[in-house]
Structure formats: C-alpha cells, structure tokens
Chain A
C-alpha cells in the first residue's frame, strides 16, 4: 500500500484581497455583492499520484505552481476542494523550520513544545531529548532563550526536532538548505537513512541538482497541474529544457 495516495486533488483559492469583507462593516455593506462570483483560481487541480514507502519524491515547478499548497494539503493544513488525500502513517511536516518556537522560551522548552505539537508523547521527547540536542550541536546553549540564538542555530534545532519525531511520512519544504555544508550533509544523510528505513518523503526545493541527486522520483507541477511524474534525472531534464525554452 502506498504511504500517500493523492486522488484528483484540487484546491481552489478565492482571491480575497480586494472584495473580501474583512470587517463586519464591509460585510454588511457588501451583503448583496457576496453573491456575485468572486475571482478564484485553482492552486491545484487533477493532481493524482502515489508515494510508496521507502521513496523520496522531489516536487519541482516555478513559483506559484502549487508545490507548497500540495504539501500543506498532505500535511492536513487546510482542506481540499476536490478529490482526496489518503495518508497511511503519521505525518511529520517540516513546512517551516521551528514550528511552535517561542523566542522568550529556552531551547529546551521549545524542543518539548515543538515535538509535542508533532504528536509525540512527553516521555518520548524525554527519551529523544539528548539525541535532538546533539544532532543540532547546541548542547551549550540549550538553556538559553531562543531569541539569543542565531537564525542558523534556530534552524538546526528545528530540523533536529522534525527529524527525531519519527514520522512515517516526512514533508519538507525548502528546509534542506539550513546551516553550513557539514550540517546540510548531516541532514541529507538523515533523510536518506529515514528513506531506507521505510519512510516516505516529499521534498519541495528549487535546488534541482540536489533533488536530481537525492530523489527517486520527481513530481513536476505547472500552474497547479501535474506536468510529469517520473524518474528523477529525466523529469528534471524535461523541466529545465521547458523552463529555458520559454
């Protein structure tokens, strides 16, 4: 059974900025106009694919192609307007580095909160705590408030938490490029190990070389539609030749 099955998935975004009643006053004034058709567009439509366990899928496409929207729907942040997503297993999302971090709390407190948001039990966080801190290489700073951390340190801590929450499915949005080269390599090794242990991974990135290298398959999104889903090298190649043609 595939870890992720996406069936005829569609997400409709209504363009709210101009005519959306943001306040009650406008809502009353526009009471009638709300019935008029709003400007709307499909951020994703007719997207359909499976991701097996033990596979890394890279998602490519130009800005606004729907890559992040796809990850958010699989991560259950927001609901589809068409079709369905079936996930088999716990989803860990790295849609942003350091989800739930609060600048005034210490690194230690933030590790607990961030892990628990990902659905871990307290005892489990307790067991993994030293591993997380060691992975982030932040032993000396773990009891300092997060606001004293550099951006790189925060990202390292965030990545360390996400990778240690032991999901079955991992969603990564542009987060593989955190830290210096050495730390990046450590993260990639970790992702590959996670794949080899049977995890399913979806990575969004603009780093095509990295994806061609890392991924088993590439999903190419073009303006919300699937342009291709296939072997990494050839799909990236097709994408590059099409992008440079236009």
Chain B
C-alpha cells in the first residue's frame, strides 16, 4: 500500500471564533465499561427531559393517529370493556362474589397497565432501532417512555373506574389513599422488568414469543378474576402449616399489588367467604415487602440493561 505515515496536517491558524465549551459538553468515549458507566447520568437525563416527553407524546399520538375518534379511544376503550364485563358477569356469572364486575375491573385495570407496559417495554429498544442505530441519547429513556405512555392510559382508565365505583354505590373511601403508594410500587417493579426485557430482547428475539404465553399464565396466577384467598389461607402439608396465599404474595409481587388495589377500592374476601363491608385498610407490611422486591427487580433490571446498552446499536 502506497500510504504515507499518518500525520496530522498543519493546523490552520485562521481567525476561528473562540468558543468556550462548558465542561459538561466535553466527553471521552473509550472501551471501558466500568461501574462508573453503569450509573445513570442524572445531569444528562435532565438535559434530555424534553425527549422523554416527546417520546411519550409520539407514542400516544401514533396510537390514535388514523382513527376517527382519536384520543377519545383511550377513554372509550376501558369504558366499553367495563360494559362488556359487567354484562357478561351480570348475566352469566354464577359467582357469589358481590358486585363481581367491580371486583374484576378493580383488578383488571392495574393488570392491563402492567402487561401493556411489560410488552411495550420489552419492545422499546428493538421497536426504535432506527433511532438507536443513528443517534446517541440515553437509551434508558426508551423503556421509561414506553411505561409512561401506558401510565397515561392507566390514569384515564382509573378515572373511568372511579366513575364506575360511584355508579355501583361503592364510591371512594379514605382507604383509596393507598392507591398512589401501590401505583408507585407497581411502577418500580414494572420498570425493572421493562429494562431487563427491553435490553435482552435486542439479543434474544424469542423473548417476545415467550412473553405472550408467560403474560397469559401470569394473568391466571394473579388474583384478577378471583380473590387472593382462593389460594387458601392455611393448609397443612405433612404436618407443617402452610399458607398458599402468603407464598403467592412472595413469589408474585403482582398478586400482592392487585390484591392491594382490590382491598382499598373494593374490599376483602376471606377463604371462608367472609366479605368485608367495603373498602378496607391494607396491611403496610405487605406493601413494604412488595416495595423491597420491586426495588430489587428494578436494580437488577437496570443493571442488565446498562451493561448491554453500548452494544445495542451494533446488535440491532
């Protein structure tokens, strides 16, 4: 090869305007993937806050763009779903649970938020491949934006649910003040899964296929259609007292969360069939334990994501 040894050419000493570059605009990118790089850069995230907002708005706009009723659908959708479910369960149900349609919807709405967020979070990097491959921005904004656009829909559904609660004579009690805490815990848990699955989906495309089945199984293992107490509060196996409902709470944070929503918005139901008069207080210990689990899932999910994010662009 007729190459000369690479040299930097003489620098023009022309009258280039002096521009001072702020220290936070000076970056060094190297091959190190140290622990330092795993921590989220809060200053940078603040800089990109408008991007997060735009990603969420874009999600919502695109979803309803070509429909005649547009954004009205996010209101109509849960409304129609409630009508269908109350008709079905009003006519067909041989269930002895009081106001079963309310019982069901109180669990279904947060569940839909959860499963919708997990699915769009898992798809958030691969679905935005055209962005990830072409331009830098903090990658973690994509799963977060996926969750937030589902959250917006959940808030709309929640408003419909409140109307429904009043229409069915239950209304809201002081116990509804637990809902923000439950929602916060649910968001942390969901975000952890969204990070983990979104990051892994780039490398393993069958995650989506598995998720379809997994979310269905998870739905049936979560007390949405039935009370948590259906698992049985106390059984004795080989002389050891054993509490399946309790085990379910440990294994499945969503069981605890859905049961929490139901307790504070609808009421409780014991395995003996004893139903509380209305919405009741929830046990803070349950929420605290679920919160700790959610935090662990969030940290693990984030680390799985952060350790791989520099490879996203070339793997897509």
For A54, the chain B residues whose CB sits under 8 A away are: 12, 14, 16-17
- Proximity string of chain A (84-95) to chain B, C-beta cutoff 8 Å, 1 when within and 0 when not: 111111110101
> Are A22 and B205 in contact, with the CB atoms below 8 A?
yes
> Are A117 and B204 in contact, with the CB atoms below 8 A?
no
> Are B6 and A100 in contact, with the CB atoms below 8 A?
no
Q: Which of A33-41, A131-139, A205-213, A223-231 contacts B (4 or more CB under 8 A)?
A: A223-231
Shortest beta-carbon contacts, A-B, top 8 = A54-B16, A84-B30, A76-B136, A79-B310, A226-B6, A227-B3, A198-B17, A78-B313
User: Considering the chains assembled together, what is the distance between the CA atoms of A23 and B184 in angstroms?
Assistant: 34
> Are B12 and A109 in contact, with the CB atoms below 8 A?
no
> Are A95 and B135 in contact, with the CB atoms below 8 A?
yes
In the complex where A117-B137, A229-B9 touch, is A82 in contact with B31 (Cβ < 8 A)? yes
The majority secondary structure among interface residues of chain A is: mixed
- Proximity string of chain B (169-201) to chain A, C-beta cutoff 8 Å, 1 when within and 0 when not: 000000000000000000000000000000000
Interface centre among B48, B131, B135 (most CB of A within 10 A): B135
> Are A79 and B62 in contact, with the CB atoms below 8 A?
no
In the complex where A55-B12, A117-B131, A117-B135 touch, is A23 in contact with B204 (Cβ < 8 A)? yes
Smallest beta-carbon distance B191→chain A, Å: 22
**B230 interface residue (CB < 8 Å to A):** no
Interface centre among A87, A222, A225 (most CB of B within 10 A): A87
**B51 interface residue (CB < 8 Å to A):** yes
Sorting the interface of chain A by its residue count into under 10, 10 to 19, 20 to 34 or 35 or more gives 35 or more
Smallest beta-carbon distance B196→chain A, Å: 15
- Proximity string of chain B (102-142) to chain A, C-beta cutoff 8 Å, 1 when within and 0 when not: 00000000000000000000000000001111111100000
| Cβ contacts A to B, 6 pairs, < 8 Å | A54-B14, A76-B136, A87-B27, A102-B62, A105-B62, A222-B1
- A22's closest neighbor in chain B, by CB? B205
In the complex where A22-B205, A76-B27, A77-B135 touch, is A113 in contact with B58 (Cβ < 8 A)? yes
> Are B51 and A168 in contact, with the CB atoms below 8 A?
no
For B137, the chain A residues whose CB sits under 8 A away are: 117, 119
User: Considering the chains assembled together, what is the distance between the CA atoms of A222 and B2 in angstroms?
Assistant: 11
Q: How many A-B residue pairs have CB under 8 A?
A: 163
Sorting the interface of chain B by its residue count into under 10, 10 to 19, 20 to 34 or 35 or more gives 35 or more
> Are B54 and A96 in contact, with the CB atoms below 8 A?
no
- A53's closest neighbor in chain B, by CB? B16
11 new A-B contacts, CB < 8 A, other than A83-B31, A100-B135, A168-B19, are A53-B19, A77-B134, A78-B311, A79-B30, A86-B26, A89-B25, A99-B135, A100-B130, A105-B61, A229-B7, A230-B4
For A81, the chain B residues whose CB sits under 8 A away are: 31
Smallest beta-carbon distance B112→chain A, Å: 24
**B296 interface residue (CB < 8 Å to A):** no
In the complex where A78-B313, A100-B135, A104-B62 touch, is A238 in contact with B2 (Cβ < 8 A)? yes
- B210's closest neighbor in chain A, by CB? A24
> Are A88 and B25 in contact, with the CB atoms below 8 A?
yes
**B236 interface residue (CB < 8 Å to A):** no
User: Considering the chains assembled together, what is the distance between the CA atoms of A194 and B134 in angstroms?
Assistant: 22
For B8, the chain A residues whose CB sits under 8 A away are: 49-50, 229
**B96 interface residue (CB < 8 Å to A):** no
- A57's closest neighbor in chain B, by CB? B9
- B2's closest neighbor in chain A, by CB? A242
**B21 interface residue (CB < 8 Å to A):** yes
**A216 interface residue (CB < 8 Å to B):** yes
- Proximity string of chain B (198-214) to chain A, C-beta cutoff 8 Å, 1 when within and 0 when not: 00000011110010000
User: Considering the chains assembled together, what is the distance between the CA atoms of A49 and B205 in angstroms?
Assistant: 39
User: Considering the chains assembled together, what is the distance between the CA atoms of A92 and B19 in angstroms?
Assistant: 16
For A120, the chain B residues whose CB sits under 8 A away are: 50
Smallest beta-carbon distance A141→chain B, Å: 17
**B274 interface residue (CB < 8 Å to A):** no
